[in-house]
Amino acid sequence: MIQTLLFVALGGAIGSVARYLVNITLPRLFGHGFPYATMTVNVVGSFLMGGLVVVLAMKGGTRFAPFLMTGILGGFTTFSAFSLDAAKLWQAGEVTTAAGYVIGTVVLGLAALFAGMAFARGFFA
């Protein structure tokens, strides 16, 4: 149990550092008006989660799920930050942008999850 907790913690550190790098890079590239970084990590994280759930199940690697899925992807994705970004847009009076952000993130996140699953099935089948 202790070993699993350490793997989750290590994965969380890796995922959090990756998220931080996205959070400082994308606003420099695309500006600060829209939360591109949060949306990106949630969509990419959803794609990776979809792929991993298939690969780990097909390859008998579910023992790696705590490190990869709970740790790395849990540290990388930012649902709470997504909620805060949406609330900030709403409170700033940018209701249409907030709605587009919420709908876009959810739809793209689900699409990315299914795409990740399909990719993994096609690649590892």
User: Where is the binding site for Na(+), in residues?
Assistant: 74, 77
Q: How far apart are CA 94 and CA 87, in angstroms?
A: 10
Residue 119: what are its φ and ψ, rounded to 5°? Answer: -60, -50
Q: Which of 12, 5, 6 is nearest to 74 (CA)?
A: 12
End-to-end CA distance of the chain: 32
> Tokens 């959090």, residue?
16
Residues making up the binding site: 74, 77
